Amino acid sequence: MNRLLRLASVGIALAAVLGLMLPVKAFSAEEIKIGVIYPLTGGAAAAGRELRAGAELAAEIANGVMADLPMTMAKNGGIKAMGGAKINLIFKDHEGNPTVGADLAKKLILDDKVHGILGCYHSSVTKTVSAVCEQYGVPMINGSSTSPDLTMRGFKWFWRTTPHDKWFTKDLFELLKGLTEGKVKGVKAVPKKDIEVLAAACENTEWGSLVTEMIKLFAGEYEFKLRKTLLYADKATDLSSEVRSLKAAKPDVMLFASYTSDAILMLKTLKAEKAGPKIIWGQDAGFETPEFRNTLGDDIVGILTRTVFLPQVVEVKKVAGQVNRMYKAKTGNDLSGASARSFTGLQTWVHVIEKAGSTVPAEIQKAANAIEIPGDELVVPWAGVKFSTTGDELGQNVLGSGLIGQYQKAKDGKVALEIVYPFDVVTADMVYPFPGW
């Protein structure tokens, strides 16, 4: 009996030694915990639902095997470099409040022990959350906040996949310039004097304030007359005085940066006050959510919005069409700028972890700075994802680009966005001037 016990002890000891010699990954796959902070309630809840659905779909694809989908992350059944580790998304609701967002980031880091964070849509919330991540040395990837300042702070633990508002606003002025040069499909050259007077109203948030500054910058650079700018309280209940102030400036072009509830209220008030500009342009966000379209119906025909994704992209990108069908089966809606960017943000997380082969922050940091995702794997019409590691914009994707869409009525009577810029990928003639109500 003693001999048997001694042999058993030797066997256990040998197994223990071998266990120490083999990597843990050989025995079990580690779970990758990503904290996802979005506005799931409040004025931007509609966008929050899209953001959540986009990230969830990307995680489902990454955790499974979908041989027909031409994405690297669809082939591995999890993180291949970590033995098939699965992505686990832990969602939190920041309610559009920067302080709440910062508190949630601390809880995710200290209590949930997340390996990284994705978020947060509102630039103001992304600002505070990324500061917490920087403090604790926890990686954060941002897919949908567009304040230019976010990648100009020299942060070492923050990366942004989406283009920002400086690029998007420049696109608008390129479109206006193109109108005067006869470059816009379906519109004869418009004399500059007919569209040179501008007025802008933006939410008094981190994002809205910086959009206003970008509008001022490019109005000067492109020699347009910015006659009125105003910042209004977000989640407003009445915008009558603001709209009357805009009308008094007699602008040819009205520019807005609003989240969903404010975008809807702004358009209703413009109609009630019989505002009649030649062009109305929204800086994405509330101007692209399903609630905006469903609530206002035909009243939005002719309105422009910048975006990074439109359903028409599926006509030129097979992978976008495949993912869009999956998203529509899941939600009943097509991918939008919000959901397509959250999908891409989580997709980027998957590539970074795969390259790192680890959840050690320093390894993730190294991988993020070296990552390059080819454009043909993305649902968005970008050249790819590659982050800047030098210069003034650390962590900014240098391969992104934007679109400008216009709400138009299709033959089936439904209102949908058509691409009107860039000029080489347009899908319909532009409606000019804005037809009014």
- Residues whose CB is less than 8 angstroms from the CB of residue 252 and which lie 6 or more positions away in sequence, other chains included: 194, 195, 196, 197, 198, 277, 278, 279
Residue keyed to tokens 């900014």: 396
Q: What is the pLDDT of residue 92?
A: 98
Say if CB 426 and CB 420 are below 8 A apart: yes
What tokens were used for 8? 């058993």
What tokens were used for 95? 């309610």
What backbone torsions phi and psi does residue 118 show, to the nearest 5 degrees? -120, 135
Residue keyed to tokens 């413009």: 270
- Residues whose CB is less than 8 angstroms from the CB of residue 210 and which lie 6 or more positions away in sequence, other chains included: 123, 147, 148, 149, 165
Q: What is the pLDDT of residue 5?
A: 42
- Residues whose CB is less than 8 angstroms from the CB of residue 223 and which lie 6 or more positions away in sequence, other chains included: 196
Q: What is the pLDDT of residue 314?
A: 80
Q: What is the pLDDT of residue 16?
A: 41
Q: What is the pLDDT of residue 289?
A: 86
Q: What is the pLDDT of residue 27?
A: 33
Q: What is the pLDDT of residue 110?
A: 98
What tokens were used for 149? 């300042």
Residue 362: CB atoms within 10 Å:
11
Domains defined along the chain, listed by start: 29-163+315-385 (3.40.50.2300), 166-307+402-425 (3.40.50.2300)
CA–CA distances in Å: residue 408 to residues 168, 303, 391, 430: 21, 8, 41, 9
Q: What is the pLDDT of residue 23?
A: 38
Instruction: Going from the first residue of the chain to its last (437 residues), give the mean pLDDT of each consecutive group of 10, the final group possibly shorter.
Output: 44 41 43 97 90 98 95 96 97 97 98 97 95 98 93 97 91 95 96 97 89 95 96 89 96 94 94 94 87 92 90 83 95 92 98 97 98 95 94 94 91 88 89 92
What tokens were used for 127? 């600002």
What tokens were used for 35? 């904290």
Q: How far apart are CA 427 and CA 150, in angstroms?
A: 33
Which residues on neighbouring strands pair with residue 89, listed in sequence order?
Answer: 34
Q: What is the pLDDT of residue 285?
A: 82
Q: What is the pLDDT of residue 279?
A: 97
Residue 27 burial by Cβ neighbours in a 10 Å radius (0-12, 13-18, 19+): exposed
Predicted TM-score (pTM) of this structure: 0.79
Say if CB 400 and CB 393 are below 8 A apart: no
**Concatenated DSSP letters for 142-155?**
ESS---GGGGSS--
